[in-house]
Structure 1
């Protein structure tokens, strides 16, 4: 039985030749010709095809579109100009970073074309690394003739900083951890991926008219993201610290699609030995029951980040309400990301609502109801935090001798042992 294929090569200089080869290719049959990716997606939604054969310059082709096709179990095969095949850092690399699994020269023989499409369908699309969308891990070698990226290439570690609703201090912890790692000489990338209201740029006194993370996600969606491009989208605030600023408005959350975000983190691992990501509180997935399962999902970027992270620093507040939220959040995180590795941090520790020995109360509650121990207890030090925010600086710059800064130093020392 022949494989039904969508053909989308409109406008390519070799369109007529490809159409003839596709019609003669054994084992496949062209069921529809499409003019752009929107036409491809509409045809794919009808269930009439099992593969898509497209041109490398198809209008509006992005990694999100490729991920959506893979989610429908549709194989994607691309054709490129024969003169460009085999060139390093060219069209084939860009398409590979989009997640396209088969790339062929446009002058491929009908027999080889039919075989490639049949093999792609039988092999199935790449395994998804996120339940929101398909993902892939691109390779990004150094560009010859170009200045090297800010940091050395390597297999970096990714740490997500997350916590429940109620402003437990996620961003303060994320900035503090990233800055202390940088002070220790660890090249670090700090990224703001909070889709509900990131404030990393404001707290560090940076203008944020343009979101570095959104720009990196756009580059990833088009297959153009590599280490040099990611370093360009980031801003260097210290010798060993780069910052990817977040969204300037919460209604721009659709710019952070899971497939593109996964590609950003994959590239970040090669750019810096450590990436610290500040993410939003919400990880609900009820939106997946909506009629259109491929529609944008606001929490998709957050869940994709937590799934990609080597470790999640879970931040809670040292009061009865904050501890209750923290314990529930730990269980919720385990249900959404079963394989998660956590490091619990309790913020704003002080005598008061938890009694005269808050450390003992915190340890007992976390051990009894969550089965974990706190990796760090951060003291309540509002003057130090106020001084840092008012000057747009980190605690390491504005309050070097504060108790909170010293606790964050200790946390960074513990984290750096795993790098």
Structure 2
């Protein structure tokens, strides 16, 4: 039985020849000619095709569209200008980064075209893989300093992704993320700090940076268009220290649609090659939006958070040391284990102080976490409002504004633990 195919090569100079060869190709049947990607998506939703053959310059083609087609078990193939011979062209690289696995010259014979489409349908959608290779790109003209201190191999490009997450109630996720990234960078481990909070990111403000332009949103747009590589990602980030880059977050919460899960996954895959360590501040909410929506292909507000938690090598779970904060933390740990069972967690309890937890708050925290969440050990950060106020008022990290504070020293220990566990 012939494979039903959608054809979208409108406007290409070789359109007529391709249409003629495709209509005669063995094993396939052209069921519809589409004028743009919206037409392709509408036809795909009707269930009338199992493959899509499109031109490389099809307007508004993005990685999200490719992922949506793959989700419907539709193979995606692309045709590139036959005049681009020799080394892979920029167009092929862009299509490859979008997730299109099979890319053919537009002058391919009808027999080869039919065979490629049939093989693509039989093989199924490609697995999600990184299309980048090589070592880490240095931040400023010289090789990344001392990556071996964190157990990273420069030749493999296997950077570590650490997500900083926690329950609602502002337990201090951003403070911990900034502090952890700063301390890693201070140890010579080149670090990328990214703000992926879709409800109200504050990393830029904490570091005294203007956030009119979101570095992460710009990187996500490049990823959707297939143009993201390590150099482009580095240009979207801002260097705030010799070994630290920052991808600023959304300036307004209503821009959350700019951070699509497919694009975010591509950003993190590229970040692993840019820096030995990437620290990501993510939102509190991990509710699956599909459960409250009939349109499973609609944008998901929590999609970026869920994608980050699933991709992370380690999730630093931040809670607050008070009765309400601990209750939320314990519930959040159970929720995270249910939503992302594979997550490797490190629990951090912030704002530890005498008061609502009695005269021995550390013992109270340890007992509650062990009894109700099965957590044997947690990092405890002392409540140090003066240090936080000093850092915030100057738009600096604790390492710069309050280097001798108790909170800063505890964050140093946290960073040391992250590096030590990587080596163990």
**TM-score interval w.r.t. the shorter chain?**
over 0.9
* Residue aligning to 1:227: 230
- Residue 297 of structure 1 pairs with residue 300 of structure 2: yes
**Which runs of 5 or more structure 2 residues have no equivalent in the other structure?**
145-153
Contact 1:86 1:92 (C-alpha < 8 Å) held by counterparts:
no
Q: 1:399 to 1:342 in 2, by over 3 A?
A: same
- Number of aligned positions between the proteins: 410
* Residue aligning to 2:419: 416
Cα distance in structure 1, aligned partners of 2:399 and 2:83: 53
Q: TM-score, normalised by structure 2?
A: 0.94
Q: 1:164 to 1:89 in 2, by over 3 A?
A: farther
What does residue range 253-268 of structure 1 map to in structure 2 within 5 Å? 253-268=256-271
* Residue aligning to 2:106: 106
CA positional deviation for 1:91: 1.3
Contact 1:142 1:148 (C-alpha < 8 Å) held by counterparts:
no
Contact 1:347 1:378 (C-alpha < 8 Å) held by counterparts:
yes
* Residue aligning to 2:190: 187
* Residue aligning to 1:139: 132
Cα distance in structure 2, aligned partners of 1:219 and 1:288: 29
CA positional deviation for 1:374: 3.5
CA positional deviation for 1:112: 0.7
What is the aligned counterpart of 2:356 among 353, 356, 378? 353
CA positional deviation for 1:371: 0.5
SS at match of 2:378: strand
* Residue aligning to 1:280: 283
Contact 1:97 1:136 (C-alpha < 8 Å) held by counterparts:
no
Contact 2:316 2:348 (C-alpha < 8 Å) held by counterparts:
yes
Contact 2:135 2:273 (C-alpha < 8 Å) held by counterparts:
no
* Residue aligning to 1:373: 376
SS at match of 1:356: coil
CA positional deviation for 1:155: 1.1
Q: Which runs of 4+ in 1 moved over 4 A?
A: 140-143, 147-153
* Residue aligning to 2:9: 9
Q: TM-score, normalised by structure 1?
A: 0.95
* Residue aligning to 2:57: 57
CA positional deviation for 1:85: 4.5
CA positional deviation for 1:126: 2.1
Cα distance in structure 1, aligned partners of 2:269 and 2:89: 17
Contact 2:289 2:301 (C-alpha < 8 Å) held by counterparts:
no
* Residue aligning to 1:130: none
* Residue aligning to 2:149: none
CA positional deviation for 1:207: 0.5
* Residue aligning to 1:200: 203
What is the aligned counterpart of 2:217 among 214, 219, 222? 214
Q: Deviations over 1:360-385 (max 9, x none)?
A: 11111111111113431000000000
Cα distance in structure 1, aligned partners of 2:116 and 2:373: 51
Q: Deviations over 1:198-235 (max 9, x none)?
A: 00000000011100000000000000000000000000
Contact 1:18 1:106 (C-alpha < 8 Å) held by counterparts:
yes
Question: What is the alpha-carbon root mean square deviation over aligned residues?
Answer: 1.7
* Residue aligning to 2:344: 341
